[in-house]
Structure 1
Amino acid sequence: MSNIQLIVEERSADIGNFLVGRLLPFREKRMVGPFIFIDHMGPVSMDDHHNMDIGPHPHIGLSTLTYLIEGSIMHRDALGMVVEIKPGEVNWMTAGKGITHSERTPDYLRGLDKQLHGLQIWVALPRDKEEMEPSFYHASKEEIPEWTEGDVTYKLVAGTALGHTSPVPVYSPLFFLEIKATSRQTIHAGQQLQGEAGMYILEGSVESEGHTYEPKRILVAKESSLCEFTMNAGTTVYLFGGEPFPEQRFIFWNFVSSSMERIEKAKDDWTNQRFPTIPGETGYIPLPQTSAAVKQVK
């Protein structure tokens, strides 16, 4: 990617009974456009005795985007939604003023050997949408815009880019784009992107300005308009970003807000079980006993 500002390496993080690769937030770059959190899940093999079990937990001030490459996750939330997420589908849950959900291995897979691989992403809401009513949207793989140019396949998971728009209901100008190359190809995308731009290398390698970059890292461009790079054969990358917000964001656990006071209220509400509950679920993940929220830069 031309004009690289920062390289972010994937770091291990424990999210309960599951290890992931944490990409955002990063101490030198808390957000890329409205994207405030990115975890790379797997690829991991689980035997018949191990399953994904992330119990009821809350969110405010953001939309979650779950995109699977392999495997399956059962999503349940306080709106009453029960949806199995499969590879190539987009699970988009907007927390707004507050929602609770769980993520588990589906029942029919719990006694089997299985694979899981995907991306878990949080997109912060603009300030005037932070207290909106919670909502949920699930897109099948057939609904996601996909097109091919020579040996390059594009899939627009969310937002608007390269003359296409995803049906996923986003709330600020952004893009999340999967690009796959079967032969060595140079990608000229920058003039059609807006705001900030980052690129996650999933597999293969990318060349830019005489340097080669391997998987499990994010490259952040100084300007999205300068987003040009060469993909080697067998490479998959994700381009993401958009217009940054004028205000800073705070993050504590699963809470995101432009107001520290609002996060403190969410912490108290969760501790005292004032969040909406999930039909059919019992128990909840306790609020972590850590210090003040992390201040987010613009």
Structure 2
Amino acid sequence: MSNIGMIIEERAADIGNFFVGRLLPFRQKRMVGPFIFIDHMGPADLKNYQNLDVPPHPHIGLSTLTYLFEGAIMHRDSLGTAVEIQPGAVNWMTAGKGVTHSERTPEHLRTSDKKLHGLQIWVALPKELEQTEPSFTHVAAEDIPAWEQDGMQLKLIAGTAFGKTSPVPVHSPQYFIKIITPKGQKVAIGKDLYGESGLYILEGNMLSDGNTYGPKQLLVARDSTLCEFETTDHTTVFIFGGAPFPEERFIYWNFVSSDRATIEKAKQDWLEQHFPPVPGDTGFVPLPQQSPNIKIK
């Protein structure tokens, strides 16, 4: 029997001159371990008059993880953070009881042609930390654990696995792993995984039980400890997951919580602009029934 329990196709959304591929949540699989939201951004070629502009918007009850393959994004938040993220680095923002942030093309790139490609991920917080104070951590690319093993190139972007721990300050047992196989080979890493696992194919192909899977597919394992597959040459996959929470999580727009009333309060607080502002940025994103939450111009 195949260890692949579900195949989730990336659902592309055209929002002007930029494509976002939604992977999670999915109607039949709302979360994989603590991972509750994954968007594949791009790849996009932006002209000298096109820029990413996501004005200040709120979050509660989650940590955001931004990981870029190409391009750069300027992150500003209500904690006073102003950090440009570049490929291979990690921006990790824990919203807790509430934070506001914006994401824009950096000033030095706004009048030139540019590329943007990466992953935007939300990780739900344990119930006891949903109302924690917000925080932000930037981890440079060179500080991410990277090594070679059995012909593979691995990076432990976040969490704990393979006897290693990433410096990204996660809040529950989890992992986010990048694996590159320059040559096609068998990959058997189940003994290093735990909880629930999902595998996203960025490039190349994965073969399992006579089936071939390719880019823009998210495969959810029936049993993470049985994670074993073959790859073709030049394949890049991301494996993510960890221990699931005992409680259900509710999600509305940018808000995640185990308590619906907390989400309703956050909605009202944003409508009344009670969230803290972002220093050095202006404007805000209305609730989704009023306008889309991402703007490219």
Q: Which category describes the TM-score, using the shorter chain as reference length?
A: over 0.9
Distance 1:18 1:47 in 2: 11
Match of 1:70 in 2: 70
Counterpart position of 2:89? 89
Contact 1:17/1:52 (<8 A) preserved: no
| RMSD of aligned Cα (Å) | 1.3
Partner of 1:188: 188
1:279–1:14 CA distance, 2 compared to 1 (3 A): farther
Aligned 8 A contact 1:148 1:154 in 2: yes
TM-superposed CA distance for 1:232, in Å, is 1.0
**Deviation >2 Å, runs of 4+:** 13-19
Q: Who is 1:141 aligned against?
A: 141
> Quick one: distance in 2 between partners of 1:80 and 1:242?
31
Deviation at 1:13, TM superposition (A): 2.9
Structure 1 residue 148 displacement after superposition:
0.6
Return the offset for 1:16: 7.9
Kept in 2, the 8 Å contact 1:197–1:224? The answer is: yes
TM-score, with length taken from structure 2: 0.95
1:268 aligned partner, one-letter code: Q
Aligned position for 1:128: 128
Aligned counterpart, 1:274: 274
Say if 2:35 and 2:123, in contact at 8 Å, map to a contact too. Answer: yes
Q: Distance in 1 between matches of 2:14 and 2:74?
A: 20
Residues 2, 229 of structure 1: 8 Å contact kept: no
CA distance in 1, matches of 2:165, 2:260: 34
Identity of aligned residues (%): 64
Distance 1:277-1:192 versus aligned 2 partners, 3 A rule: same
Q: In structure 2, how many angstroms separate the alpha carbons of the residues matched to 1:259 and 1:170? A: 21
Q: Is the 8 A contact 1:59 1:100 kept in 2?
A: yes
Aligned to 2:250: 250
Question: Which residue of structure 2 aligns with residue 202 of structure 1?
Answer: 202
In 2, distance between residues paired with 1:2 and 1:169?
Answer: 34
Question: What does 1:42-57 correspond to in 2, within 5 Å?
Answer: 42-57=42-57
Query: 2:265 aligns to what SS in structure 1?
Result: helix
Is contact 2:18-2:42 (8 Å) kept?
A: no
1:158 partnered with 2:152: no
Report the Cα offset of residue 281 of structure 1: 1.1
Q: What is the CA-CA distance between 1:12 and the residue it aligns to? A: 1.6
- Using the alignment, how far apart are the partners of 2:5 and 2:15 within structure 1? 29
Contact kept in structure 1, 2:19 and 2:43, CA below 8 Å: no
The equivalent residue for 2:219 is 219
Deviations 1:73-96 (A, max 9, x none): 000000000000000000000000
Q: Cα distance, 1:106 vs. partner?
A: 0.2
Contact conserved, 1:17 with 1:53, CA < 8 A, in 2? no
In terms of mean alpha carbon deviation, does 9-18 or 117-126 score higher? 9-18
CA distance, structure 2, for counterparts of residue 88 and residue 181 of structure 1: 18
Q: Deviations over 1:84-140 (max 9, x none)?
A: 000000000000000000000000000000000000000000000000000000000
Aligned: 1:24 with 2:44? no
Give the distance between the partners of 1:62 and 1:135, measured in 2 at CA: 11
CA spacing shift, 1:244–1:15, aligned 2, 3 Å = farther
Measured after TM superposition, the shift of residue 10 of structure 1 is 0.2
Alpha-carbon distance in structure 1 between the residues aligned to 2:46 and 2:120:
18
Q: Distance in 2 between matches of 1:159 and 1:236?
A: 19
Q: Deviations over 1:28-64 (max 9, x none)?
A: 1000000000000011000001000000000000000
Give me the whole-angstrom Cα distance separating, in 1, the residues matched to 2:129 and 2:46. 38
Contact 1:34/1:242, CA 8 A, preserved across alignment: yes
Q: Which runs of 5+ in 2 are unaligned?
A: 291-297
Separation in structure 2 between the aligned mates of residue 20 and residue 182 of structure 1, nearest angstrom: 27
Secondary structure of the residue that 1:108 maps to in structure 2? Answer: helix
Q: Is the 8 A contact 2:200 2:239 kept in 1?
A: yes
Instruction: Report SS of the residue matched to 2:200.
Output: strand
| Residue-pair matches, total | 290
8 Å CA contact 1:2, 1:227 repeated in 2: no
